């Protein structure tokens, strides 16, 4: 793996991490508004789908000529960078849209179950962390 491919990986990491952080932040905002875990994940994914896809597709289409080697001078340096970024964006976009929300939901639901079990052991009524009907359900 050469230097251009490593530079492409750094670029890719920046895009992917930013997308995941913004998605998780939006999901957390929905949770604070009273949405349940699953509802917050679905709404967050629905609202971030378009921007994430637009970022990925714009970058992929911009780097396509470079990956195909039709940019002229310096193609031998730029081609590995473009190939790494395109391949990484395709896979990481799927991971950001599918794996990150799934893992978030699994972790949060497990936390809620543990909190309910602890409350039941102490003889306290279980605190409800999700609202049955969020007040912004039509958003």
Reported as a single tens digit per residue, the pLDDT across 6-24 is: 888 888 888 889 999 999 9
pTM recorded for the entire structure: 0.75
**Domains, the chain, ordered by start:** 3-121 (1.20.1640.10)
What is the C-alpha to C-alpha distance for residues 137 and 139, in angstroms, rounded to an integer? 6
Those residues with Cβ within 8 angstroms of residue 122's Cβ, 6 or more apart along the chain or in another chain: none
User: DSSP character for 130?
Assistant: S
Q: Is the pLDDT of residue 99 over 60?
A: yes
Q: Give pLDDT, residue 129.
A: 53
pLDDT digits (tens, 9 = 90+) for 54-93: 989 999 999 898 888 887 776 667 888 888 889 999 999 9
Count CB-CB contacts under 10 A for residue 41.
Answer: 24
Q: Give pLDDT, residue 21.
A: 93
What is the C-alpha to C-alpha distance for residues 123 and 95, in angstroms, rounded to an integer? 41
Q: Give pLDDT, residue 16.
A: 87
């Amino acid at each position: 793996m050469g230097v251009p491919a490593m530079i492409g990986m750094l670029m890719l990491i920046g895009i992917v991490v930013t997308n995941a952080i913004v998605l998780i932040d939006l999901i957390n905002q929905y949770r604070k508004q009273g949405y349940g875990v699953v509802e917050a994940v679905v709404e967050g994914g629905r609202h971030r789908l378009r921007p994430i896809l637009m970022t990925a597709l714009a970058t992929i289409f911009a780097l396509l000529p470079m990956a195909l080697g039709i940019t002229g001078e310096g193609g031998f340096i730029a081609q590995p960078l473009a190939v790494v970024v395109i391949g990484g964006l395709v896979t990481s976009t799927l991971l950001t849209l599918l794996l990150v929300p799934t893992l978030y939901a699994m972790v949060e639901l497990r936390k809620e179950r543990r909190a309910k079990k602890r409350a039941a052991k102490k003889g306290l009524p279980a605190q409800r962390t999700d609202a049955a009907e969020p007040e912004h359900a039509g958003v």
